[in-house]
Amino acid sequence: MGIASQFDKSLYGAVAFDDPTPIPDDPTESADEISFDGYGLQNALVTTSDLHASGPAREISTRAYPRSDGAYVENAQWRGNVVTLKGFLTAASRASLEMGMDTMRRHFAAPAGILKITHAGVARYYDCYAKGMESLFADRQPHQMTVCPWAADFECFHPFARSLDRKFFSNPTSVTAAQTSIFIPHDGSAPTESRVYLMVTTAGSASKIRWENVDTGEAVEVGAAFGDGDYVQIDGEAKAVSVNGVAADYDGTFPTVEAGGSRMKLTVTGAGFSIAMSENHYTRFL
């Protein structure tokens, strides 16, 4: 099980009490073009012969127009993503083969593992679970002593693939005006969640902070009696806001950074403040 993180410090206990999804650790990087939980799936002993990773499923909710033809879209969201892999496990003897099968079972049983797939020469990472353990080696025949076919589905709990590391937009940007507008570039092909860190050097009369995507209208606000030295985190990945490490109430929707980049705006209610802002996010792919 993964280790949860807070302010870039690892904590024991895999998940927060209000978050049922473990946060996966980045496993030791495998040199293979395909791997899961750091276990290589494209090498001399383990090969992947079939790979199906078309893209995430999209959920579209519609409502019919009353007394008229047609319908309108109420909501459209990306949901699940399933990647299917098939291949062969080989070994020099039956004993070695079955030991290799046990090793594959152990790695595929990892909760919230990371599936690495190289696409166009660049590694992409999926946070997922391996499914279908009961049929992982279902196609093995009794005469197969040194080779065994395997097949597994990987269900991703985030619909988009990501880069291994987050990209930092600024480190940090000084905020002293009521409104600070910035453009955050994003090289991926899917929206990505923004994580904003704010160090309140001088609070002045600052009483509310708003982080907004000007292009989409998504915005989140947090209000508090801010003081000098306060640390505010607006975490679009965890869908949480904290002040000095303590969960804080907020209003609105966490803004994402769209593919290609987005115009973002930080608005601070009050005067006489000085805030250092930094932002980071994964590159996300459909």
pLDDT in tens, 163-179: 999 988 766 788 999 99
φ and ψ of 94, to 5 deg: -60, -40
Residues 6+ apart with CB under 8 A from 102: none
Residue found by looking up tokens 């004993």 in the block = 95
The reply to whether 5-160 and 167-285 are identical in fold is no
Q: What is the pLDDT of residue 173?
A: 83
| Fold observed for domain 5-160 | Elongation Factor Tu (Ef-tu); domain 3 (2.40.30)
Q: Flag whether pLDDT at 32 surpasses 50.
A: yes
- Give 4's pLDDT tier (boundaries 50, 70, 90): very low
Q: How crowded is residue 218: how many other Cβ atoms within 10 Å of its Cβ? A: 20
Query: What 8-state DSSP symbol labels residue 134?
Result: G
When pLDDT is averaged across residues 63-73 and rounded to a whole number, the result is 92
- Among the four given CATH numbers 2.60.120.860, 3.30.1490.20, 1.10.3190.10, 3.30.360.10, the one describing domain 167-285: 2.60.120.860
Q: pLDDT class for 75, splitting at 50, 70, 90? A: confident
Per-domain boundaries in the chain: 5-160, 167-285
| Beta-strand relationship, 195-202 and 262-269 | unpaired
Query: Has residue 114 got a pLDDT over 60?
Result: yes
Q: Cα separation of 90 and 100, whole Å?
A: 8
Residues making up the chain, counted from first to last: 286
DSSP annotation of 101 reads H
pLDDT bucket at 272, cuts 50 / 70 / 90 = very high
Token pair, residue 263, equals 């115009």
Closest CA to 155 of 242, 269, 79: 79
Q: Are strands 192-193 and 231-235 parallel, antiparallel or unpaired?
A: unpaired
What's the chain's average pLDDT? 88
d(CA 7, CA 17): 17
Rounded CA separation 109/280 (Å): 31
Average pLDDT on 151-158 reads 94
Res. 80 pLDDT band, cuts 50 70 90: confident
Q: Is the pLDDT of residue 133 over 50?
A: yes
For 37, the token pair is 């939980």
Burial level of 82, CB count in 10 A (0-12/13-18/19+)? Answer: middle
Per-residue pLDDT band at 17 (split at 50, 70, 90) = very low
pLDDT at residue 105 is higher than 60: yes
* More reliable by pLDDT, 71 or 6: 71
Q: What residue type is assigned to position 276 of the chain?
A: A
